[in-house]
Amino acid sequence: MATFSAVTREHILRAIAECDSRGHDDFVGVYGFGGAQGYPLVHEGRSYDSTAILGVAHRYATGRLATSDEVGGDPAGAALLLRKRGFVVTGPVAVERVAGPSGPRARTTRSPARAAAPARRPAAAPERVAPICPTCSMTLPATGVCDDCG
């Protein structure tokens, strides 16, 4: 089970930079992530797969890639964590069928959570420095006890 408390804004920015340098298809292919789960991360006018970015950011933070099951099990949870780190993550886009004078047509609507979201980017909270295990130099989980060294 992956914990994401060690993932900082800097780790996420490094994952975004790697996605830009590799290209989206190669990035998700190399790390084994599927498609976006409906919560795209928007950074500097570009959209990214939020679960893939968070999984790779976890790798930068801890040395271990978080699998798509660990990250993508709850895409709204990944979106919440990315928002806490100061990033913009849009809500899912729903498609509904509407009957009109010319027959049925598709109309996209945003989820209610997205409609209530503020238009401005929230100020980023100062990042907390994650504690490091003195024996193996890995980032400690929230319990403070190293998973490898005990």
Q: Is 93 domain-assigned?
A: yes
d(CA 127, CA 10): 9
What integer pLDDT is reported at residue 73 of this predicted model? 63
Element (H, E) at 80: helix 75-84
Average pLDDT, integer, range 49-62: 88
d(CA 80, CA 107): 26
92-106, 117-131, 132-146, range with the lowest pLDDT: 92-106
Q: Is 147 domain-assigned?
A: no
Which residue type sits at 126? Answer: P
Cβ 4 vs Cβ 12: under 8 Å: no
What integer pLDDT is reported at residue 75 of this predicted model? 63
Average pLDDT, integer, range 1-30: 86
Q: Is 136 domain-assigned?
A: no
What integer pLDDT is reported at residue 93 of this predicted model? 46
Cβ 14 vs Cβ 60: under 8 Å: yes
Segments forming the whole domain that contains residue 40: 9-116
Q: Is 126 domain-assigned?
A: no
Task: Report how many domains make up the chain.
Answer: 1
Cβ 108 vs Cβ 57: under 8 Å: no
Q: Is 3 domain-assigned?
A: no
- The residue ranking higher by pLDDT, 93 or 71, is 71
Cβ 55 vs Cβ 49: under 8 Å: no
